Amino acid sequence: MPNSVCIGEAFQKIPMKTFILLIITFAAASAVIAADKPLLAIPGKVIYENKFDAAPALPWKAAKGKWELADGVWRGSEKPEDHHGAVNRLTNVLGAFVIEYEFRFVGAKSTSLSINAIKDHMARIMITPTTVTIQRDDNDHDGPDKAIVFARFPAQFATNTWHKVRMEMVGDTMLGRVDELTAWGSNDLFKQAHVAPGFTVGGQSVEFRNFSLREATLNPDWKTVKASLPKPGEKILPVASPKSKTKPKTSG
């Protein structure tokens, strides 16, 4: 009891502005801890990190578009003459991994984080100003294979506001997360080597910062985490209204 009294008296002596600041700081710290809880994967050894505060250079390879340093971060922009979204990739061949980075729209109509198979596309997180799509990609383009959408969420990404993206792949499962929007899916294609992680940009422009690529192992609590998330296919917002046949670009 005396200890409780002492603690109460100590709080009474703290100025109100300081007390409010302490509450805000504690809440912010709690939010960070909650956001960093393991999902599918436990991040391990750092494979590659880049704040994107210097001009784009190797080991990144820009296949399409314009990639530059602008306002202290990377900016990717589609070139109209390319007739293709801007693309910039690492050359890594990966096992299980976790990728994290931040992006913001500065005029573009879409962006994605994608990973390839040894041949053709494997999976991606596709983002427009109003949607987030997490999917297994079409792996043969003109063949019988089709993309499988695990989730498509409604979203509102205002221009010039930063947002966090996370992709995790372990075994036959991938997990995608944009801010708090999270979905997962499994497929035999994911058992292959994961090749050339990278960005795409449709239109002009998207900015990027604070990229991290890490090795990963399966979270031993994944079954519990999975039970708290939407089942694959459970959250699929229609791409467009019946009057429109426009779909987000997924090339690159």
**pLDDT of amino acid 141:** 76
* pLDDT tens sequence across 188-244: 999 999 999 999 999 999 999 999 999 999 999 999 999 999 999 999 998 665 454
Q: Strand 235-236 and strand 148-154: pairing?
A: parallel
Higher pLDDT, 251 or 138: 138
**pLDDT of amino acid 251:** 56
Residue 13: pLDDT band with limits 50, 70, 90: low
Task: Provide the mean pLDDT of the chain.
Answer: 87
**pLDDT of amino acid 72:** 97
* pLDDT tens sequence across 112-165: 999 999 989 999 999 999 999 999 999 987 778 899 999 999 999 999 999 999
Average pLDDT, integer, range 26-55: 77
**pLDDT of amino acid 84:** 95
